[in-house]
């Protein structure tokens, strides 16, 4: 895609619109490693003339490919597969590409110096996916960049003893292609960036309900036998959905919930409709983290990044949403005082308009991003501030956007030029003082 931070991710000139993914997972047994066999069909439009159709795929072996129902060659490297490499594709052409592949999926280092491994992770009791930023190709053929969102249909086959959870609402299940297996289907309603597609297998305790104020369906899952331990951490999820729906605009998807996995990862991730928490982030006082990941459903999932360097558009927004929730839920919480304290701790945090890969998930992007929104709120007033957020989520729902578009929209909604304001907050070496 030519992304400044992840130049190897995605392919320019392709717009993938629909993905049909059939995944057949055989978990490890008796010393034999687990195996994933997959057939993924991508319906796409060529948006710029190119030679061959290239997709991201890491460390899984391609066994065949078809282009519009006709077998074609597929050349594979360590992290890419190119279909019909010798053929020229013209702008506006529409095709359906089917790729078959398999192997033992392994998570990979995120490449950001954080020591975090992302992708398909196998556990003693099942598996799960955490793909941000570039882990999806460890298990899913994809045009792996958030600027190319697609509608997914997922069919996941597992042994009868396992259950499957995935993005969206369950679409039914049926006997699998082999004796002793079941195929579970999911068809999420809205487009998804590839790194936000979630698939988990195992045995789960399920909680289902609705958010009282908005009627949004809620579905959460915990490792079997652990619901009583982890459920209290997410008891206020419905209240959070209701509050954020008032502040940010209607909840953008058909369901929301959390998945707790039986691993210690020391992070959570906002997989679309089903945020994932590990045993550490699901323990203790998790309200802030829970609010943060929920807020991403608006900021990052529905309104997705056009380029990774605009990370503050999702992490700064979710960080500020934490404070908005605590302001609402905790009597005596002084938002201005908390923001002032945050400013004092991060006053020397560098500019966040174009972070390096090493700084992409650093505190500056999160904290200075959140402070930028608080400064905007204090500059334009509550009415205009929340009008900006609601217009933002409505205008770019199910799409992608940039910092420049946010600045333009905020200026339009508030009726005042805000270029200098955002320049000082996002690009100056030192943060300005918070408005009083």
Burial 368-388 (b: 16+ CB within 10 A, else e): bbbbbbbbbbebbeeebbbeb
**Per-residue pLDDT, 287:** 94
What is the spatial distance between Cα 176 and Cα 34, in angstroms, rounded to a whole number? 17
- Confidence at residue 23, expressed as pLDDT on a 0 to 100 scale: 98
C-alpha distances in angstroms, 159 versus 33, 103, 124, 174, 394?
Answer: 15, 17, 14, 12, 41
Ordered mean pLDDT values, 10 residues apiece, the chain (436 residues): 94 97 96 96 98 97 98 96 97 98 94 87 95 97 98 98 97 97 98 98 97 98 96 96 98 98 93 96 92 98 98 98 96 96 90 94 95 98 98 98 98 98 96 93
Q: Which residues of 389-416 are buried (b: 16+ CB within 10 A; e: fewer)?
A: bbebbeebebebbbbebbbebbbebbee
Residue 348 confidence (pLDDT): 83
How do strand 399-401 and strand 303-305 relate by DSSP bridges?
A: parallel
Omega prior to 70 cis, within 30 of 0: no
- pLDDT at residue 432, rounded to an integer: 95
Residue 400 and residue 300: Cα distance in Å, rounded?
Answer: 9
Other CB atoms within 10 A of residue 123 CB: 15
pLDDT for 266: 87
Beta bridge partners of 312: none
Candidates 143, 162, 120; CA nearest to 17 is 143
**Residue 164, beta-bridge partner list:** 201
**Dist CA 9 CA 354 (whole Å):** 18
Residue 389 near residue 303, CB atoms below 8 Å:
no
Q: Which two tokens stand for residue 86?
A: 């010798």
In the chain, what are the domains? 1-197 (2.60.40.1730), 203-297 (3.30.2010.30), 305-426 (1.10.390.10)
User: What integer pLDDT is reported at residue 93 of this predicted model?
Assistant: 98
What secondary structure does DSSP assign to 168-185, as a single string? S-EEEEEE-SSTTEEEEE
Read off the pTM. Answer: 0.97
């Amino acid at each position: 895609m030519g992304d400044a931070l992840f130049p190897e991710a995605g392919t320019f000139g392709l717009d993938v619109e629909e993905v049909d993914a059939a995944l057949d997972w055989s978990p490890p047994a008796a010393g034999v490693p687990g195996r994933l066999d997959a057939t993924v069909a991508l319906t796409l439009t060529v948006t710029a003339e190119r030679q061959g159709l290239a997709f991201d795929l890491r460390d899984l072996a391609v066994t065949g490919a078809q282009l519009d129902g006709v077998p074609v060659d597929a050349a594979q490297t360590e992290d890419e597969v190119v279909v019909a490499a010798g053929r020229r594709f013209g702008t506006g052409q529409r095709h359906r590409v089917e790729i078959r592949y398999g192997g033992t999926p392994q998570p990979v280092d995120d490449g950001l110096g954080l020591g975090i491994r992302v992708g398909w992770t196998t556990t003693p009791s099942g598996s799960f996916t955490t793909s941000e930023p570039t882990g999806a190709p460890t298990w899913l053929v994809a045009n792996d960049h958030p600027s190319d969102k697609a509608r997914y249909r997922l069919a996941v086959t597992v042994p009868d003893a396992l259950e499957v959870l995935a993005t969206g609402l369950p679409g039914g299940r049926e006997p699998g292609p082999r004796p002793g297996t079941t195929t579970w289907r999911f068809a999420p309603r809205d487009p998804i960036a590839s790194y936000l597609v979630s698939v988990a297998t195992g045995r789960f305790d399920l909680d289902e309900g609705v958010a009282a104020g908005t009627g949004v369906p809620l579905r959460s899952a915990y490792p079997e036998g652990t619901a009583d331990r982890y459920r209290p951490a997410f008891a206020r999820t419905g209240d959070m959905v209701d509050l954020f729906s008032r502040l940010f605009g209607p909840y953008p998807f058909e369901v929301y919930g959390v998945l707790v996995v039986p691993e210690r990862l020391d992070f959570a991730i906002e997989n679309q409709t089903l945020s994932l928490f590990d045993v550490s982030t699901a323990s203790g006082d998790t309200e802030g983290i829970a609010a943060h990941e929920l807020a991403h459903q608006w900021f990052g999932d529905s309104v997705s990044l056009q380029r990774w360097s605009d990370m503050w558009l999702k992490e700064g927004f979710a960080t500020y949403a934490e404070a908005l929730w605590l302001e609402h839920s905790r009597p005596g919480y002084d938002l201005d005082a908390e923001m002032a304290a945050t400013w004092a701790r991060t006053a020397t945090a560098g500019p966040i308009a174009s972070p390096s890969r090493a700084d992409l998930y650093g505190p500056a992007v999160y904290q200075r991003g959140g402070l930028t929104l608080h400064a905007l709120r204090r500059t334009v007033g509550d009415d205009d501030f929340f009008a900006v957020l609601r217009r933002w989520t409505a205008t770019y729902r199910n799409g992608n956007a940039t910092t420049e578009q946010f600045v333009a929209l905020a200026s339009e909604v508030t009726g005042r030029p805000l270029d200098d304001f955002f320049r000082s907050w996002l690009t100056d070496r030192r943060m300005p003082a918070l408005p009083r």
